[in-house]
């Protein structure tokens, strides 16, 4: 049905763009639909053809419904608040000799259980173990509960747990009312120090938790609640003072788990014959103790190399015992996901194992698939961010890379979780290597196409891929031009051509791509201009390289940005060709309320100061190659700035208070310059000698209170950095690169005269 609707909307959009009256016969549009072509290219026939296709779909659905009734199939709908696979209840006892590795986590957990709570703490202190299913959270909790030191301090009152259990299970009429039940628990914990372990917690309702927690506030100061959960959101809702992330085991630790079970009862000769295969099997476990235990238990009764080799050569989900034991906890996590997030997770199966996934790119792919469509007022990017955070907080993603603002920008999917995603969509997703050329274009129903081998040109019949929404041609260095027929892809939402270093021009008809949201064209060094049709792409959210003018009559101007009101990110090159400063104002960037990331590359004599200072929503700003600038703009006035990069301004010799853009308040109150700035980078400021904020250090002006990263690159003449910045406790990273000999001596570790000023910074790199 979605394909049929695509065909219909594509035909309508093409008629609209070409300015053709709906009553006029149009052969090109009708060529989309063979049936319509046979009847003389009449739009009415086009409507009839679509109606026939819809009727065929309805008939197929009716036939499926009849077969369901004929064979007596039952419809089993699981409500979102019900879990189909309940885990086996855990108990407190454990054999400590069976716990391998985790020395750091064990030590950290016990220390946090034994440390005194703050005097302000009202009620038990909550400590959380967070990690994916099968990672070993329950085992860690069991270890801590049975630790001798913990027993001495926190486990003196054995009757407390029994009282809570009795209260929760008692069926007498005295406890029918919930209030009575809570009072019963409150009575038994009053004045006692306790350790309460809540295993595998899923509740995200703060109100429910608050009622239970309040009845525990009568216990003695220093009591602890230890919870295990797969969701970081659960830990935060429950007010965890400490969150301990439980990660995968090392291969050595995983081998110890496997060895203790898999080789039990085997002779020395059998162990020697099987150990090599066993160590290869361990690599399939990917650090998950549950998988290691499951496979080891299976091999415990198998003694021949052939039997072990069969397990090694099997896919993880082909092993019945693994599927049974591992599928349950993973399904439990999966079934808890909102339905719209489930399809976002299974889509991750298309990525190669162990590959790094860029968060923004993943969200754009979800958008292309239609997963983020909604009737809410939120932007699709915001919904995608919300869905990503749900998956991240529930341990579906791992190995996070974070930016200057602490936000995740890259992640991985654990191999076992990746296998699980492929298992779920095994009948829907097929991973194949697609060869380039004419044969590739026979797959006219594909929605995402990426070429990973170098090609010289894109086939002209690419226009037949009318359902295509995401086209990635990045790093295709042999491509010099894109065919005009590419502009017939009316459903295209993302065109990625970054690092196509020999690409000289974009199709003149690019204005037809009315649904295009992302144009990733950075590092296209041979691309000298953009076609004027860019101004028609009113849904554009990101342009990696907006080249102004270029001396071509067919090139777009800066004013072409005026209609692109949804822009969020834009890098503008060639501002040296903007002869009229008024043209910059006509771009109306200040009216683009979603614009937060802007890079400006100048090479002109006049800088439109007021224009830049009007962009108050910017969070990311990069200014470069403005060679004639002698004084920095008062960028401290941009209250939303979080990242600032300034480079190639060879005329600047001094940075002072003018950079802050603020003056002390006449009322004596403090004024803040750069209130949100987290990262500041100066690069290739070749004439910069002095950086001093002068009177601003007296305390009347607060400067960069959140600065965490300072990077200096290629500032050869700069003599010193402002003490006010170096002394900040927020500063976590100081990098000085690119040949700065004065700095190298001044801040040399231990011996430099100003080393004491920077020694408190955790991450220091001076080339």
Q: Which of these, 325, 319, 250, 326, lies nearest to 283 by C-alpha position?
A: 250
The predicted-structure confidence for 673-709, as pLDDT tens digits, reads as follows: 999 999 999 999 989 999 988 755 455 788 999 999 9
Higher pLDDT, 104 or 628: 104
Of the given ranges (309-323, 336-350, 456-470, 727-741), which has the lowest mean pLDDT? 309-323
Decide: helix, strand or coil at residue 418: helix
The domain spans of the chain are 2-71, 96-245, 251-327, 619-767
The predicted-structure confidence for 78-90, as pLDDT tens digits, reads as follows: 444 444 445 555 6
| Beta-carbon contacts of residue 48 (< 8 Å; ≥ 6 apart) | 36
pLDDT of residue 202: 86
Residue 277 CA to residue 558 CA, distance in Å, equals 64
Q: Which of these, 346, 344, 316, 320, lies nearest to 331 by C-alpha position?
A: 346
Share of the chain above pLDDT 90, in %: 25
- State the average pLDDT over residues 594-611: 75
When the pLDDT of each residue in the chain is averaged and rounded to a whole number, the result is: 80
Decide: helix, strand or coil at residue 288: coil
Share of the chain above pLDDT 70, in %: 79
CATH dotted code for 96-245 = 3.40.50.300
Q: Which of these, 284, 258, 407, 397, lies nearest to 333 by C-alpha position?
A: 397
The predicted-structure confidence for 370-423, as pLDDT tens digits, reads as follows: 899 876 678 889 999 999 999 988 888 888 898 877 789 999 998 888 888 888
- State the average pLDDT over residues 468-484: 92
Question: The whole model's pTM is what?
Answer: 0.70
Cα separations (Å) of 110 from 236, 274, 437, 520?
20, 37, 61, 50
Residue 758 CA to residue 727 CA, distance in Å, equals 7
Predicted confidence (pLDDT) at residue 278 exceeds the cutoff of 70: yes
């Amino acid at each position: 049905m979605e394909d049929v609707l695509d065909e219909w909307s594509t035909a309508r959009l093409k008629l609209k763009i070409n300015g053709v009256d709906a009553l006029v016969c149009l052969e090109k549009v009708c060529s989309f639909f063979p049936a319509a072509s046979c009847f003389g290219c009449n739009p009415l026939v086009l409507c009839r053809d679509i109606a026939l296709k819809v009727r065929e779909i309805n008939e197929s659905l009716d036939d499926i419904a009849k077969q369901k009734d004929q064979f007596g199939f039952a419809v089993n709908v699981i409500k979102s608040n019900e879990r189909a696979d309940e885990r086996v209840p855990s108990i407190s006892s454990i054999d400590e000799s069976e716990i391998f590795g985790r020395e750091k986590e064990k030590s950290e957990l016990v220390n946090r259980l034994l440390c005194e709570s703050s005097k302000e703490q009202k009620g038990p202190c909550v400590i959380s173990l967070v990690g994916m299913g099968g990672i070993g959270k329950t085992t860690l909790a069991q270890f801590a509960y049975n630790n001798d030191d913990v027993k001495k301090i926190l486990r003196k009152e054995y009757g407390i747990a029994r009282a809570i259990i009795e209260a929760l299970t008692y069926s007498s009429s005295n406890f029918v009312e919930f209030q009575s039940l809570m009072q019963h628990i409150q009575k038994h914990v009053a004045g006692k120090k306790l350790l309460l372990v809540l295993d595998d917690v899923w509740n995200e309702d703060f109100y429910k938790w608050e009622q239970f927690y309040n009845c525990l506030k009568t216990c003695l100061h220093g009591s602890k609640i230890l919870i295990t959960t797969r969701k970081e959101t659960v830990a935060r809702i429950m007010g965890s003072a400490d969150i301990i992330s439980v990660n995968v085991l090392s291969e050595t630790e995983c081998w110890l788990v496997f060895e203790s079970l898999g080789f039990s009862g085997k002779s020395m000769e059998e162990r020697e014959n099987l150990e090599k295969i066993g160590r290869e099997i361990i690599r399939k476990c990917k650090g998950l103790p549950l998988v290691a235990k499951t496979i080891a238990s299976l091999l415990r009764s198998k003694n021949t190399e052939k039997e072990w080799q069969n397990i090694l050569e099997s896919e993880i989900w082909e092993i019945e015992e693994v599927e049974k034991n591992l599928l349950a906890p993973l399904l439990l996590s999966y079934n808890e996901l909102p339905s719209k997030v489930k399809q976002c997770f299974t889509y991750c199966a298309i990525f190669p194992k162990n590959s790094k996934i860029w968060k923004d790119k993943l969200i754009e792919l979800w958008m292309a698939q239609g997963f983020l469509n909604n009737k809410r007022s939120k932007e699709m990017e915001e919904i995608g961010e919300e869905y990503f955070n749900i998956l991240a907080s529930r341990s579906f993603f791992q190995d996070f890379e974070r930016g200057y603002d602490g936000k995740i920008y890259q992640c991985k999917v654990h191999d076992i979780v990746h296998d699980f995603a492929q298992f779920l969509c095994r009948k829907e997703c097929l991973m194949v290597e697609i060869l380039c050329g004419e044969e590739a274009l026979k797959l006219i129903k594909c929605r995402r196409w990426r070429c990973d081998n170098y090609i010289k040109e894109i086939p002209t019949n690419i226009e037949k891929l009318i359902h295509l929404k995401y086209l990635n041609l990045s790093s295709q260095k042999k491509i010099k031009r894109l065919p005009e027929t590419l502009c017939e892809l009316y459903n295209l939402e993302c065109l990625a051509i970054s690092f196509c270093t020999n690409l000289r021009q974009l199709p003149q008809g690019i204005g037809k791509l009315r649904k295009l949201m992302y144009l990733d064209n950075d590092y296209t060094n041979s691309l000298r201009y953009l076609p004027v049709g860019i101004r028609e792409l009113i849904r554009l959210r990101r342009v990696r390289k907006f080249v102004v003018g270029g001396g071509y009559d067919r090139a777009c101007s800066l004013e072409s940005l005026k209609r692109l009101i949804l822009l969020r990110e834009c890098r503008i090159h060639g501002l040296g060709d903007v002869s009229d400063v008024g043209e910059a104002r006509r771009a109306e960037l200040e009216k683009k309320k979603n614009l937060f990331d802007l890079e400006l590359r100048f090479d002109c004599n006049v800088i439109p100061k007021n224009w830049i200072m009007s962009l108050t929503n910017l969070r990311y700003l990069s200014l470069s190659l403005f060679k004639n600038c002698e004084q920095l703009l008062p960028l401290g006035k941009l209250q939303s700035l979080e990242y600032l990069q300034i480079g190639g301004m060879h005329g600047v010799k001094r940075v002072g208070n003018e950079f802050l853009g603020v003056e002390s308040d006449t009322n004596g109150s403090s004024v803040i310059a750069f209130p949100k700035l987290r990262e500041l980078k100066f690069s290739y400021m070749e004439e910069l000698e002095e950086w001093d904020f002068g009177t601003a250090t007296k305390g009347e002006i607060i400067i960069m209170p959140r600065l965490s990263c300072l990077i200096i690159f290629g500032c050869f003449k700069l003599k010193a950095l402002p003490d006010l910045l170096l002394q900040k406790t927020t500063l976590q990273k100081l990098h000085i690169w690119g040949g700065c000999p004065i700095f190298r001596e001044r801040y040399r570790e231990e011996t430099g005269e100003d080393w004491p000023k920077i020694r408190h910074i955790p991450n220091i790199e001076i080339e």
